[in-house]
Amino acid sequence: MTYWAFVPRSRRLVSPLVLIHGSRRNTGRMFRAFLPHATTLGMPLIVPTFPVDAFPGYQRLAGAAGPLSALRALESTLADADNVLGLSTDRVALCGFSGGAQFAHRFALYAPGRVRRVVAASAGYYTYLDDNRPFPYGIRPSILSAGERPDVEAFLRLPIHVLVGELDVERTGTLATGGGLDQAQGDNRLARALRWVDHLESVASVRHRPSRVSFDLLPGTAHSFTSAVHRGDLVSRVVDFVHRSQALSGAAISQNRMHS
């Protein structure tokens, strides 16, 4: 794998923000969109590329080398950024758009110890914390999870921010629809995002723990990274969430944003 990186002078004072691309793999555009904020804040950026031939199923953490190979590839990338660039990558903030949002929340589910905060923006569909459904639809061990079971408790302790465009209701060609997804999660990305947030809040409540999930709409935005940046103010919203006090609860975060 290759990756873009921004390394500020005070490289170990702020943990890196790792950005995960969608199926178009527009890593250069993602890097440039976040670079002005990164330079102002002294925030390291890491933007890896999952090659199409080696990682056709990176959204599900998989690759040509087998289940969870995309997860291992990102871990190797983080190790390289630590060894070569001197970035502190033990725990990172993780943000993905579209297919990258699928990867981001699943990486956080199976490697929660490597993640400080996670943003899932405009994901096609989500993994539910449901033992009755096989991964990637639920958390029951499957071939695609290499028989592994995630640490749900550790995942629920992570601050998770879900973003989606208010106009992201079209059934585009990249929207997965098989496996009963429409019935289980909704028939568009907006509906699926809202339903997954409700699901995480419900699971946290059943387990008698505070919810750490929050939700935000990107105004005037359909399913487009460019539109999300220029109309939905995606970059500022992500950076705000990544750097806000970790003492705030998910509910407070959501209330603050929705009333701003």
Q: What is the pLDDT of residues 156-197, one digit of tens each?
A: 999 999 999 999 998 776 787 776 888 899 989 999 999 999
Tens of pLDDT, residue by residue over 37-83, are 999 999 999 999 999 999 999 999 999 999 999 999 999 999 999 99
State the average pLDDT over residues 142-168: 97
Whole-number pLDDT of residue 12: 60
Q: What is the CA radius of gyration of the chain?
A: 17
The pLDDT mean for the chain works out to 91
Whether the per-residue pLDDT at 256 is higher than 60: the answer is no
Tens of pLDDT, residue by residue over 118-136, are 999 999 999 999 999 999 9
Name all domains of the chain by residue range, CATH numbers in brackets: 2-258 (3.40.50.1820)
Whether the per-residue pLDDT at 246 is higher than 70: the answer is no
Cα separation, 152 vs 211, whole angstroms = 13
Whole-number pLDDT of residue 35: 97
Nearest residue to 214 via CA among 247, 158, 183, 253: 253
State the average pLDDT over residues 8-12: 75
